[in-house]
Structure 1
Amino acid sequence: MLTKKMEEAINEQIKWEFYSSYLYLSMSAYFQGLGLPGFATWMEAQYQEEVFHAMKMFKYVNDQGGRVKLQAIDQPEQEWKSPLDCMEFSLNHERLVTKRINDLASLAQEEKDHATFIFLQWFISEQVEEEDTFGDVVSKLKLVGDGGGLFMLDRDLGTRVFTPPTKA
């Protein structure tokens, strides 16, 4: 059973995960507008992944006898200076998500909520992957610049498909 403090904190993170999905969908639209359909597809997969994260938490709160209370989602950014600026923004966003997940894990320890602490380990590992993935794209964008390499990277990113983890 979740403590009230833990339930409220996870509800806030559910909102944040849905905001993240909304942000990545906005980025997909931005890339479509630039004529970079591969980047747009990549961000659509990221959008789906964030919805998966939110729903994983949604289900956990319900399974633990808590109550999910959905909150208003802020409007995401819609414009960036360049594809690199957009991806650096995403990387910084994921670093903030990592901090938030780590704070949830710390709260679970303070509340002596061992089940939630274990549940959050999946998200902690996921955030290591998220930061690595975005960091890799940022590094590649810095290497290719705005030239023809951008279109090769666009083609490469367009192959990404969201596949939900088998053990969710």
Structure 2
Amino acid sequence: MMDKKIEEVVNEQLNTELWSCNLYIAFQVYFEKQELPVLALWLKNQRQKKADRIQKLTTYLLGEDAFVSIRGFEYKADKWQSPVVALNSLFEHEQYFHKQVNDFMNFARYMGDDALQALVLDLYTDEVHVSDFLVELLRMLVKEWRRQLPLE
């Protein structure tokens, strides 16, 4: 039987991945409409990684005879006024998600559950480094685009 705290935290991470995946779809569609295909493609690839993680988290819970709790989402796509505003929103999301992943990794280490630690390492070891790179790249792009925009 899975520890209730582990079950709760894994379900929370599962729901974070689901929410993030939905947000990435909205960003992808927006950037496609803005004719920024490289960014849209990157978001599509990230969305697929999230779908894979969602599957692994669900499989882990079900394999341990734990309860899978998927919350309903009320989601309204933001109407970003410009690509810079959208990039800033994406940047904020990446910072939030990066913190969630770090907290999840720290929890797994603290609990000392070998199966949970193996799952977390499988899901996020490379992602933490990619997120750091992405956050810096987005920060650089937002600063550069702000310099190119006319002052209001």
Q: In which range does the TM-score fall when normalised by the shorter chain?
A: 0.7 to 0.9
Unaligned segments of structure 2, at least 5 residues: none
- Seen in structure 2, the aligned counterparts of structure 1 residues 104 and 2 have a Cα distance that, compared at 3 Å, is farther
Whichever residue aligns with residue 56 of structure 2, its letter is: K
| 1:64-143 mapped onto 2 (5 Å cutoff) | 64-75=64-75, 77-122=77-122, 123-140=124-141, 142-143=143-144
- Over 3 Å counting, the alpha-carbon distance change for 1:76 and 1:97 in structure 2 is farther
Q: TM-score, normalised by structure 1?
A: 0.71
The answer to whether the 8 Å contact 1:15/1:72 transfers is no
Query: Partner letter of residue 99 of structure 1?
Result: K
Question: Structure 1 or 2: larger helix share?
Answer: 2
1:19-30 counterparts in 2 under 5 A?
19-30=19-30
Q: Is the 8 A contact 2:32 2:40 kept in 1?
A: yes
In the TM superposition, what is the alpha-carbon distance from 1:3 to its structure 2 partner?
0.8
Change (3 A) 1:101 1:5: same
In the comparison of the two structures, how many residue pairs are matched? 147
Q: Quote the Cα distance in structure 2 between the aligned partners of 1:15 and 1:130.
A: 19
Partner residue in 1 for 2:31: 31
Check conservation: 2:84, 2:145, Cα contact below 8 A.
Answer: no
Question: What per-residue deviation string (whole Å, max 9, x for no partner) do you get for residues 105-160 of structure 1?
Answer: 3333443323212321231431221231343244245446697xxxxxxxxxxxxx
Any unmatched runs of 5+ in structure 1? 148-168
The one-letter code sitting in structure 1 at the alignment partner of 2:118 is I
TM-score w.r.t. structure 2 length?
A: 0.77
Cα contact 1:21–1:51 (8 A) shared by 2: yes
Q: How does 1:3-18 map to 2 (within 5 A)?
A: 3-18=3-18
Q: Give identity over the alignment, percent.
A: 24
State the alpha-carbon separation in 1 of the partners of residues 96 and 145 from structure 2. Answer: 27
Q: Could you say what the CA RMSD is over the residues aligned between the two structures, in angstroms? A: 2.6
Q: 1:107 to 1:42 in 2, by over 3 A?
A: closer
> In the alignment, residue 117 of structure 2 is paired with which amino acid?
F
